[in-house]
Structure 1
């Protein structure tokens, strides 16, 4: 779970970089950034509940 959470955080990072350098798909990229953050929060909640 911790690895998955880290991967979601890294995905969000790369999506933000893409967004900053590519203005063609801003809406789609923003949706993916939000989804990556939601996934990270879900994984964090699971990790906190298990510990």
Structure 2
């Protein structure tokens, strides 16, 4: 969230918003999966979290490869670990 605030302070609003949404969705869906209605519900929540993880990687990739955007290597490392 702090990185998204940094992006916003640099007026990179679109990427900041997308990164915040996808990044927080990973955790939200993972937490929801801890109390599923069924095995199918659990699998669905984990799959959604995995898709959000890939989207988050994409937004970080754009930041990493753009000269006018900041980048945080620690976030990249954390995403790879997840």
TM-score (norm 2): 0.56
SS at match of 2:17: helix
Structure having greater relative contact order (Cα 8 Å, sep ≥ 6): 1
- Structure 1 residue runs of 5 or longer lacking an equivalent are none
Two-structure CA RMSD over aligned residues (Å): 1.2
Point out 4+ residue stretches in structure 1 off by more than 6 angstroms. Answer: none
C-alpha displacement at 1:11, in angstroms? Answer: 0.7
- Structure 2 residue runs of 5 or longer lacking an equivalent are 1-14, 68-82
**Structure with greater helix percent:** 1
